[in-house]
């Protein structure tokens, strides 16, 4: 076999093996990322600070995937909206609806969570 062809084939095989290895490592790293459903801080019982840095927001719940977080966000919003509609005097339910309307699903490794 021609030496150049043999080296070329080895090189392609190594690249494929390295690529697979890197893809597996990348997938493993992504699998470690979780998701937080976060609500903005509330300086008072009736106000939200949705402009606050993400590091000041509160974790409402944690999830394995962004899709699960988004689904839970919509479900929680609907549940609390139903409670608020059923009892117009339920200030907590109304406030949680407002909080959930401004909530966000954020990856647990998002660097904005560490900002001061």
Q: Are 100 and 73 a contacting pair, CB within 8 Å?
A: yes
Q: What is the pLDDT of residue 21?
A: 52
Residue scoring higher pLDDT (91 or 116): 91
What residue ranges do the domains of the chain occupy? Answer: 1-32, 33-113
pLDDT at 103 over 90: yes
Q: What is the pLDDT of residue 88?
A: 93
pLDDT at 3 over 80: no
Residues with Cβ < 8 Å from 93, sequence gap 6 or more?
80, 81, 83, 84, 87
Q: Are 40 and 48 a contacting pair, CB within 8 Å?
A: yes
Q: What is residue 43's DSSP assignment?
A: S
16's tokens: 């494929």
| Percent of the chain residues topping a pLDDT of 70 | 72
Q: Are 39 and 105 a contacting pair, CB within 8 Å?
A: no
Q: What is the pLDDT of residue 73?
A: 97
d(CA 104, CA 63): 12
- The stretches of 87-113 forming alpha helices (DSSP H) are 91-101
For residue 37, the surrounding DSSP H or E stretch is strand 35-39
Residue-wise pLDDT for 9-62, tens only, equals 544 455 555 555 545 554 444 457 999 999 999 998 889 999 999 999 999 999
6's tokens: 């043999």
What global pTM score does this model have? 0.69
Q: What is the pLDDT of residue 4?
A: 55
69's tokens: 């977080």
């Amino acid at each position: 076999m021609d030496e150049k062809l043999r080296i070329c084939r080895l090189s392609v095989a190594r690249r494929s093996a390295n690529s697979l290895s890197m893809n597996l490592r990348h997938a493993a790293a992504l699998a470690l990322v979780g998701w937080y459903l976060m609500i903005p801080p509330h300086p008072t019982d009736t106000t939200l600070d949705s402009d606050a840095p993400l590091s000041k927001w509160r974790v409402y719940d944690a999830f394995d995937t962004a899709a699960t977080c988004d689904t839970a966000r919509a479900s929680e919003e609907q549940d609390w909206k139903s409670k608020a509609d059923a009892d117009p005097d339920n200030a907590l339910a109304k406030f949680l609806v407002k909080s959930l309307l401004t909530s966000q699903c954020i990856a647990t490794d998002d660097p904005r969570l560490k900002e001061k």
